[in-house]
Chain A
């Protein structure tokens, strides 16, 4: 069965700092990859997704992620975070052709003004 690892459980940054959140997955076949954000008290929202093509994916709110197949990684980046980016971030994977998402444990990002 596939699994998703997010090694950073809690990240604290100052505004304008750069962000990189790690995501690694284990699965032998082709996968679809997602990053979701959950703001306090709100539902999961899609930030970006990768199915195929250009491994550098741009999402909403200035986020991007890079798929590195050889490393089974899909790290999330943002050049300059804002206080409003304070939230929990989840990486998720599903094997191509299937619908069930496997989530990582999440990374809580706290941005200090």
Chain B
């Protein structure tokens, strides 16, 4: 069964540093997403990406965040200057036209 792959599985970074979280979506999917889950809280939508541009974003997705699809396979989330409150599990997902979302296993980001 096709999978969404995320790397790394766990990243520790110092406050103020930039991090890039990487995802390889399912190859024939058209829509790509990032969600996050702060420990003990709900899974929250960050951003969706379609046709090489952001199609929706939440209030959480401010200027500190950016997404990119640098080649035909990777989809990345960059946090420019991490804060303690950015510590969370970040999930990548992709979907086809029929809302068939597939989620990755997540990257646990710890900001110290």
Residues of A within 8 A of B (CB): 32, 34, 36, 42-46, 49, 51, 90, 92, 94, 98-106
Contacts and interface: CB of A to CB of B under 8 A. Distances in A.
Interface of B: 4, 31, 33, 35, 41-45, 48, 50, 55-56, 58, 91, 93, 95, 99-106
Contacts, number: 51
B3 to A, nearest CB: 8
A51 B112 CA distance: 42
Main secondary structure of the interface of B (DSSP, over half): strand
A99 B50 CA distance: 10
26 contacts: A32-B99, A36-B103, A42-B105, A43-B4, A43-B104, A43-B105, A43-B106, A44-B103, A46-B101, A46-B102, A49-B99, A90-B43, A99-B31, A99-B48, A99-B50, A99-B99, A100-B33, A101-B43, A101-B45, A101-B101, A102-B45, A103-B35, A103-B43, A103-B44, A104-B42, A106-B43
